[in-house]
Amino acid sequence: MSCRTSLILALLTGLIAPLASASTLERELGELSLRLGSTPGRSMAQGLVAPAGSGRLHGGLDLTHTTGWYAGQWFPSLGLTPGHTLETDTYLGYRQAFSRRQGPGYELGLIRYSQPQQKDSTRHELYGGLTLPASRLGAAWSQSHGRQDSTLLLDLDLPGSPELGMTLKYASHVLDSPVQVSENHSIRRYEDWSLSLSRAWHTTELGLSYSGASLSGDSCTVYSGQNPGCRHTLTLQISQPLF
């Protein structure tokens, strides 16, 4: 498989509020917790709705109830820059610890992916998994528009450095009908994956990610998955939160 590595450096500038040195803003509203952020939080849903190909302007918010129910909306791309379209990902989930000590627990939910500017782009995804205070292991499944998609997610804070995180995704995509890419070759199933490292440095978010897929050459015309493209890609990102 041919390998093409691209290096992308993106810098977001904005106004940093004096009360916040991180990229999130949280408020307690009685039994509800409101979270507004320019980087994903720690729920299983937020780990799945933030693909490596996020636009330059992205963010989201969610509400969490003391009973464990939460709902939110994430915008991987606001569609304000060339090559990116508006995407809204809405989710509803339930998270609960196995005991009262807030240790290991479980999480279940549903995500609705929508791109209003593209016809027939809406799909729904079921997810679930195990959670720890700083880690999560989950799986997701969806079926729409002639295909099935399943994803495994591993997200954790690396030992000894709470500000250094790692996210690993592996996805399998199965088409209802094979797609002919050449006279003797058709595609019905393919896989893709990504590995991302992130670190908070003062008010700046540093990220390094690698993504790839099992397709190559003319087969890449079939690709539609969690990564920006079919080929192997290395991405370096430096971002500055808006608050």
Instruction: Tell me whether residue 69 is in a domain.
Output: yes
Instruction: Tell me whether residue 172 is in a domain.
Output: yes
Q: Which of 192-197's residues contact partners 24+ apart within 8 Å by CB, and which partners?
A: 192/223, 192/225, 192/226, 192/227, 192/230, 193/168, 193/169, 194/52, 194/167, 194/168, 194/169, 194/226, 194/227, 195/166, 195/167, 195/168, 196/52, 196/166, 196/167, 196/168, 197/164, 197/165, 197/166
Instruction: Tell me whether residue 9 is in a domain.
Output: no
Instruction: Tell me whether residue 10 is in a domain.
Output: no
- Residues belonging to the chain: 243
Q: Are 149 and 142 in contact (CB under 8 A)?
A: yes
Along the 243 residues of the chain, how does pLDDT read in single tens digits?
434 333 322 322 232 232 233 456 677 777 777 776 655 566 777 778 755 444 455 667 888 888 989 998 887 766 666 666 777 888 999 989 888 777 789 999 999 988 776 676 788 999 999 988 778 899 999 988 789 999 999 988 776 655 788 889 999 999 999 998 888 889 999 999 999 888 877 777 788 999 999 998 889 999 988 887 898 999 888 776 655
CA distance 71 to 61: 9
- CATH number of 44's domain: 2.40.160
pLDDT at residue 88 in the model: 83
| Neighbouring C-beta atoms of residue 215, cutoff 10 Å | 21
pLDDT at residue 45 in the model: 79
Domain that holds residue 206: 24-239
Instruction: Tell me whether residue 1 is in a domain.
Output: no
Instruction: Tell me whether residue 15 is in a domain.
Output: no
pTM for this prediction: 0.75
pLDDT at residue 243 in the model: 53
- The structural domain count of the chain equals 1
| Neighbouring C-beta atoms of residue 161, cutoff 10 Å | 9
Q: Give the type of residue at 158.
A: L
